[in-house]
Structure 1
Amino acid sequence: MTQHLNAHGQPVGAPVPDWQPRPRPPRTPMVGRFCRVEPLDIARHAAELHEANGDDRTGANWTYLGIDAPPDFASYRAWLEKMAAGDDPLFHAIVDGTGKAVGVATFMRIDPANGVIEVGNINYSPRLQRQPAATEAMYLMMARAFDELGYRRYEWKCDDLNAPSRAAAQRLGFRFEGIFLQALVYKGRNRDTAWFSITDKEWPTVRSAFERWLAPDNFDAAGRQKRGLAELRAAG
Structure 2
Amino acid sequence: MPHTLNAYQQAIGEPLPDWSPRALPARAPILGRYCRLEPLDPQRHADDLYAAYSQAPDDRDWTYLPVGPFASAADYRAHAERAAANSDFLHYAVIDLKTERAVGTLALMRMDPANGVIEVGFVVFSPLLQRTPISTEAQYLLMHYVFDTLGYRRFEWKCDNLNAPSLRAAERLGFRFEGIFLQATVYKGRNRDTAWFSIIDSEWPALRAGFAQWLAPENFDAQGQQRRSLAQIRTEL
TM-score for both structures, normalised by structure 1:
0.98
Partner of 1:90: 90
Task: Tell me whether 1:39 sits opposite 2:39 in the alignment.
Answer: yes
What is the 5 A alignment of 1:24-173? 24-96=24-96, 97-173=98-174
Post-superposition offset of 1:57: 3.0
Post-superposition offset of 1:148: 0.3
Partner of 2:188: 187
Post-superposition offset of 1:79: 1.2
Paired residue type of 2:77 = R
Q: Deviations over 1:105-155 (max 9, x none)?
A: 000000000000000000000110001000000000000000000000000
- For residues 2 and 53 of structure 2, what CA distance do their matches in structure 1 show? 50
Post-superposition offset of 1:69: 0.5
Post-superposition offset of 1:5: 0.5
Partner of 2:198: 197
Give yes or no for contact 2:91–2:108 (8 Å, CA) kept in 1.
Answer: yes
Q: Tell me, what secondary structure is at the counterpart of 2:25?
A: coil
Paired residue type of 1:169 = A
Q: Deviations over 1:28-77 (max 9, x none)?
A: 11111110111111110000000001012311110000023111111111
Post-superposition offset of 1:2: 5.2
Q: Tell me, what secondary structure is at the counterpart of 1:224?
A: coil
Return 5+ residue gaps in structure 1 as ranges: none
- What is the root-mean-square deviation in Å for CA atoms of aligned residues? 1.0
- For residues 125 and 30 of structure 1, what CA distance do their matches in structure 2 show? 20
Give yes or no for contact 2:40–2:92 (8 Å, CA) kept in 1.
Answer: yes
Residue 2 and residue 55 in structure 1: after superposition, are their counterparts in 2 closer, same or farther (change >3 A)?
A: closer
- For residues 168 and 153 of structure 1, what CA distance do their matches in structure 2 show? 18
TM-score for both structures, normalised by structure 2:
0.97
Amino-acid identity (%): 58
- For residues 128 and 4 of structure 2, what CA distance do their matches in structure 1 show? 50
Q: Tell me, what secondary structure is at the counterpart of 2:85?
A: coil
Runs of 4+ in 1 over 3 A off after TM superposition: none
Residue 233 and residue 72 in structure 1: after superposition, are their counterparts in 2 closer, same or farther (change >3 A)?
A: same
Residue 58 and residue 2 in structure 1: after superposition, are their counterparts in 2 closer, same or farther (change >3 A)?
A: closer
- For residues 111 and 135 of structure 1, what CA distance do their matches in structure 2 show? 24
Return 5+ residue gaps in structure 2 as ranges: none
Q: Deviations over 1:185-206 (max 9, x none)?
A: 0010000000000000000011
Give yes or no for contact 2:88–2:109 (8 Å, CA) kept in 1.
Answer: yes
Q: Tell me, what secondary structure is at the counterpart of 1:101?
A: strand
- For residues 183 and 45 of structure 1, what CA distance do their matches in structure 2 show? 32
Partner of 1:16: 16
